[in-house]
Amino acid sequence: MPDRFIINGLGGKKKLSGSIEVKGAKNAALKALAASILFKDGIALKNVPDIEDVKRMNDILEEIGVSVIDEKRGKYTLTTPQKVKTDLPTDLAQRMRASIVLLGPLLSRFGAVSLPHPGGCVIGERPIDLFIDGFEKMGAQYFHDGKQHVFKAPKKTLHGATIVFKKPSVTATETLMMAATLAHGKTILKNSAQEPEIVALAEFLNACGAKISGAGTSTIEIIGSKSLRSGREVYQTPPDRIETGSFLILAALTGKKVEIKKCDPTHLEILTETLKHSGVHIDVEKDSILVSNPTSVKFQPTDVETREYPGFPTDLQAPMTIFLTQAHGQSHVFETIFEGRLAYVPDLIRMGARIDVCDPHRIIVHGPTALSGREVKSPDLRAGLAFVIATVIAKGQSVIHNVYNIDRGYERIEERLQAIGVNIERVT
């Protein structure tokens, strides 16, 4: 039987205290691991979180021939040989959306790749048309053979191109940016995503000889080169901003005084501003955030609309909805990025929340409502952590099933939460 969490909730009391450390960002580390394919020599990474998705990415890399050495404590060394398999293993690649980022490095360095439609969280359709359009513009041929997406670069190299994304996509921006570092000539990516994970990747690639400018803005320019060498550069995984934001919301709802350490508050300004407007006491330092809660404070309702960075992250939409169930009044939540990201709402209603579902993108939350403990099943990785927050607020005992979905993105979450006073236990 898969693992589950048993949580004894605080029944609305604000009791948590102490400090909690943020781990390296899943969505940054996975791309840096994939980038190893671009390098003639080995690359070293630090602060990589010990999570299921990192294990799956390393499994795929090893399966195609990359040497992955786990140096322990979040350090890895990866070396790609002269030749690797360019067919991604179907079962592994289907388990993780981020497998799609291997497409760019493999195609630009080895001239071919075939992969199944990438899996991952069931939060919407998750097409790959932006990838197909982009790589065709860079000279690749594409077809679907009934099972796999197949890409081939004639003469084994891609050429530079101007690519205008019809919407900003994080993984499409990263994948094409990586591919362009080894393409012939100049590539311009317009309407790119601007997430901090893209900047971290570009800075590392530039430190290793790539010529990327504009990462973190909507237009990125890349001048391709023949090869990349990392030398002594080490990729330092930035702190996970989604984990930080989830801890911030948990602390606002259930903390007396909680310090969130080893984070980058500049990546979360939209959340801290939104929470401050609702009445949460937040003190921001360079790499930590302190949340303190006088018991008298009544949180104000607020409207939230998910947007690409620097807008409100879709990955924090579910945790934010939990916060809004405790605000005094009516809040609107508009999920603009994915159409399947409100799947957690029925369980939250069963816990006692008053939420009107308007359509697959919009809900109205009426607060405050006391929540009561229940058995729930984590529908996706981010909603999984939202359920942890909801069950900590709730009165009584809850069971969260399908903890694998939480382990995919958060390193030993129960141990870190226990340290600030959460009554949570993993049952294997």
| Smallest separation, CB 99 to ligand UD1 (Å) | 9
Please report how close the Cβ of residue 347 comes to ligand UD1 at its closest, in angstroms: 20
Give residues 100-129 in contact with ligand UD1 (rule: CB under 6 A).
124-129
Give the whole-angstrom CA distance, residue 237 versus residue 50. 12
Is 121 marked active-site?
Answer: yes
Q: Which residues on adjacent β-strands are paired with residue 359? A: 362
In the complex, what is the shortest distance from the CB of residue 246 to ligand UD1, in angstroms, rounded to a whole number?
13
Site for ligand UD1 in 150-189 (CB under 6 A): 167, 169-172
Region for 72 from its dihedrals, namely left if φ exceeds 0, alpha if ψ lies in -120 to 50, beta otherwise: left
Element (DSSP H or E) covering residue 241: helix 241-254
Among 39, 247, 323, 338, binds ligand UD1 (CB under 6 A): 338
DSSP letters of 129-146? HHHHHHHHHTT-EEEE-S
Nearer to ligand UD1, 99 or 326 (CB): 99
Cβ-contact 314, 340 below 8 angstroms: no
Does the footprint of ligand UD1 cover residue 314 (CB under 6 A)?
yes
Nearest to 82 by CA among 66, 69, 93: 66
- The CA dihedral of 351, 355, 356, 361, to the nearest 10 degrees, is -100
Tell me the closest approach of the beta carbon of residue 67 to ligand UD1, in angstroms.
23
Interaction of residue 396 with ligand UD1, rule CB under 6 A: no
Question: Would you state the structure tokens that stand for residue 320, as one six-digit string?
Answer: 């934010």
Distance (Å, whole) CA 166 – CA 208: 30
75 binds ligand UD1 (CB under 6 A): no
Q: Of 7 and 88, which has the nearer Cβ to ligand UD1?
A: 88
Q: Does 337 bind ligand UD1 (CB under 6 A)?
A: yes
Cβ pair 348, 390 in contact under 8 A: yes
CA nearest to 195, candidates 165, 214, 163, 170 = 170
Number of residues lying near ligand UD1 (CB under 6 A): 22
Among the listed residues 23, 56, 97, 109, the single contact to ligand UD1 using CB under 6 A: 97
Q: Does 237 bind ligand UD1 (CB under 6 A)?
A: no
Q: How far apart are CA 37 and CA 80, in angstroms?
A: 6
Q: Which of 315, 347, 407, 414 binds ligand UD1 (CB under 6 A)?
A: 315
Q: Which of 10, 66, 98, 393 binds ligand UD1 (CB under 6 A)?
A: 98
The residues annotated as belonging to the active site are 121
Point out which residues bind ligand UD1 (CB under 6 A).
Answer: 27, 30, 97-98, 124-131, 167, 169-172, 193, 314-315, 337-338
